[in-house]
Amino acid sequence: MIEIQDLKKSFGSQMVLKGVNLVIPDGQITVIIGASGSGKSVLLKHLIGLSQPDSGKILVSGTDIAHLDSYHIKNVRMRFGMLFQDGALFDSMNVYENIAFPLREHRRMNEEEIRLLVAEKLKQVNLPGTEKKMPNELSGGMRKRVGLARAIVLNPEIILYDEPTTGLDPVSSQSIDDLIVSTQKHLNGTTVVISHDIRATLRIANKVAMLHDGKIVAEGTPDDFLTNPNPIVRSFLDPAILHAKLPSRKS
Amino acid sequence: MKKFVSFLGGNVTGALNEFGGFMLTLIEGVRALFSKPFRLNLIFKEMEFIGVNSTIIIMVTGVFTGAVLALQSGKAFRLFNAEGVTGAVVALSLLRELGPVMTSLMIAARCGSAIAAHIGTMRVTQQIDALEVMAVDPISYLVAPRIVASLGMVPLLSIIFNLLGILGSYAVGVMLLEINEATFFDRIYAYVKSEDLWNGLVKAAVFGVIIAVVGCRKGFMTEGGAEGVGRATTQAVVVSSVTILIADYFLTALMF
Ligand SMILES: Nc1ncnc2c1ncn2[C@@H]1O[C@H](COP(=O)(O)OP(=O)(O)OP(=O)(O)O)[C@@H](O)[C@H]1O
Ligand SMILES: [Mg+2]
């Protein structure tokens, strides 16, 4: 379980997080939604210690990771996997080397074992046989999938996704969403997703939280969300829901 | 006047900040070198990039630097019939100053910029964040191998520069200006001491560290997309070149 307690963070005079409180339950998919610039990426970076809070706590299974030294933060990070917005693949390495990277760094495996595992992960993200490709030869969706394969190759307990589907066509988005769900089932891990996509959110989430003006303004199951009367939530949900209903009305 | 003072003050604190940053990068880099894992193949890769791939440029600049020095000094010495010392003068200037300085300026332009561009791109495309998330220390992975490689290769390249420079001065001095070959070499043996070589190599090693540290630091501090990478690259070359020349003065004052 990850518990965020009264997390505050400013950049210069701009206060981005103004006291975030949120519980992220184990073994479930939690989706954080919010307008662009509301601080979702900043929040996610705090969860994995890439950013230090001004005040507040981030408890990962009870340990506050906000003020750990570099040795201990490494041990915590070994339990995490993270998919960056555009994959953040190492562009000097091919797909194979990218996915093998965490294995070479943290596991004693021979080349044959690495090869098999990389092939398995690539199959899991529906990109079998792309080992030799360089990142710049991949489409945006493929880069995200390779990034996902790299993020899960050490079987992390907790996976963070920063806008995994933004900028993708509906078909690729759907396949990434399915991957998030199947990966969660496969690893039985704790999953945190940042998303703009309301429909996908409602479909894959076990828990939804909305970040607005530096605070969590609403949280609950997707069903709670659909009936939430908070005007901020409504203004975010309604256009998407209306839009979602259009096709069924036509048929 | 007040404006000028605050302008100056701002620049001085800025420069001190920068210097502090470089020292920090150096200390962290050295510390990472002595903690697991030791990244031998990355060091070799960087050595290949900094050393092997720069050899040709260094050879060419070396030959022509030596040649032009011989041309200028040979003609000047001829005015008072002392052209025999041309070789010795060229060799001394090369070993003590021009070898290390020219070599490291070339390497700053060729490799310092590439280091800053590479690390800067990794920074703005979140590849460095990705390293950290995968519990890999970016200093140990990106900085330490470059410091070692540069520390090792710049002195080697400066030896090549010196050798080729002397060859160039031989070509101009003996073949073109028709200085007596025996005197040419005799004077070199008489005036050049091994100390000159060693001091020059120490300089080159220091400059090598400067190139790597400045390039890495500028790369790490990159902000703001492709434009930021461009800025970091330019700054890496400018700052390391200026730092090399300043350091050269102080090293010379200490050594000779
Ligand atoms: N390193 C930083 N330095 C200064 N300001 C920052 C930094 N990182 C984020 N910010 C600011 O924090 C605010 C929130 O940024 P963040 O990236 O978290 O937004 P977001 O919710 O992820 O938006 P999007 O959905 O567009 O990705 C923005 O106003 C941004 O300018
Ligand atoms: Mg974001």
Q: Tell whether ligand 1 has an atom less than 6 A from the beta carbon of residue A34.
A: yes
The pLDDT tens digits of the residues spanning B129-152 come to 999 999 999 999 999 999 999 999
10 Å CB burial of residue B162 (0-12, 13-18, 19+) is buried
Average the pLDDT over B102-127 and give the result. Answer: 96
Whether A248 shows a pLDDT value over 80: the answer reads: no
Question: CB–CB of B133 and A106 under 8 A?
Answer: no
Range name among A101-105, A239-243, B158-162 with the lowest pLDDT average: A239-243
The pLDDT tens digits of the residues spanning B163-173 come to 999 999 999 99
Confidence band, pLDDT 50/70/90 cuts, at residue A249: very low
User: Is B8 domain-assigned?
Assistant: no
Average the pLDDT over A58-78 and give the result. Answer: 89
User: Is B10 domain-assigned?
Assistant: no
User: Is B1 domain-assigned?
Assistant: no
Residues 97-136 of A with CB under 8 A from B: 101-102, 105-106
Percent of chain A with pLDDT over 90: 58
- Interface residue of B28, B42, B134, B139 to substitute, partner A, most A CBs within 10 Å: B134
Using only the alpha carbons of chain A, give its radius of gyration: 19
Question: CB–CB of B134 and A102 under 8 A?
Answer: yes
Looking at per-residue pLDDT, the higher value among A24 and A202 belongs to A24
Q: List the single residue in B with minimal CA-CA distance to A101.
A: B134
Confidence band, pLDDT 50/70/90 cuts, at residue A251: very low
The pLDDT tens digits of the residues spanning A212-228 come to 999 999 999 999 888 88
| B25 vs B21: CA distance, rounded Å | 6
User: Is B194 domain-assigned?
Assistant: yes
Q: Tell whether ligand 1 has an atom less than 6 A from the beta carbon of residue A87.
A: no
User: Is B142 domain-assigned?
Assistant: yes
Average the pLDDT over A93-102 and give the result. Answer: 96
* Beta strands A14-24 and A29-33, pairing class: unpaired
| A163 vs A149: CA distance, rounded Å | 16
Q: Tell whether ligand 1 has an atom less than 6 A from the beta carbon of residue A41.
A: yes
- What's the gap in Å between the CA of B193 and the closest CA on chain A? 45
Nearest ligand by distance to the CA of A162: 2
Q: Which of A42, A43, A163 to mutate to test the pocket of ligand 1 (most atoms within 8 A of CB)?
A: A42
- Mean pLDDT score of chain A, rounded to an integer? 89
> Residue B157 is part of which domain span?
25-251
Q: What is the pLDDT of residue A250?
A: 39
User: Is B98 domain-assigned?
Assistant: yes
Q: Tell whether ligand 1 has an atom less than 6 A from the beta carbon of residue A210.
A: no
Confidence band, pLDDT 50/70/90 cuts, at residue A200: confident
Secondary structure of residue A23 in the 3-state scheme: strand
Q: Tell whether ligand 1 has an atom less than 6 A from the beta carbon of residue A32.
A: no
| B163 vs B158: CA distance, rounded Å | 9
Q: Which residues contact B253 (CB under 8 A, 6 or more apart)?
A: none
Percent of chain B with pLDDT over 90: 82
User: Is B2 domain-assigned?
Assistant: no
Q: What is the pLDDT of residue A243?
A: 60
Question: CB–CB of A105 and B135 under 8 A?
Answer: yes
Chain A residues whose beta carbon lies within 8 Å of the beta carbon of residue B122: 90
Q: Tell whether ligand 1 has an atom less than 6 A from the beta carbon of residue A42.
A: yes
Average the pLDDT over A162-171 and give the result. Answer: 84
Q: List the single residue in A with minimal CA-CA distance to B35.
A: A71
| B221 vs A100: CA distance, rounded Å | 28
The pLDDT tens digits of the residues spanning B185-240 come to 999 999 999 999 999 999 999 999 999 999 999 999 999 889 999 999 999 999 99
- Mean pLDDT score of chain B, rounded to an integer? 93
Query: B167: which 2 tokens?
Result: 């060859």
**Residues bordering ligand 2, an ion, CB closer than 5 Å:** A 41
Range name among A66-75, B171-180, B236-245 with the lowest pLDDT average: A66-75
Confidence band, pLDDT 50/70/90 cuts, at residue A242: low
Q: List the single residue in A with minimal CA-CA distance to B123.
A: A88
Q: What is the pLDDT of residue A206?
A: 94
The pLDDT tens digits of the residues spanning B64-90 come to 999 999 999 999 998 988 888 999 999
Q: Total structural domains in chain B?
A: 1
User: Is B178 domain-assigned?
Assistant: yes
Whether A79 shows a pLDDT value over 60: the answer reads: yes
Confidence band, pLDDT 50/70/90 cuts, at residue A23: very high
Triad A175, A86, B111: Cα angle to 5°: 145
Whether A241 shows a pLDDT value over 70: the answer reads: no
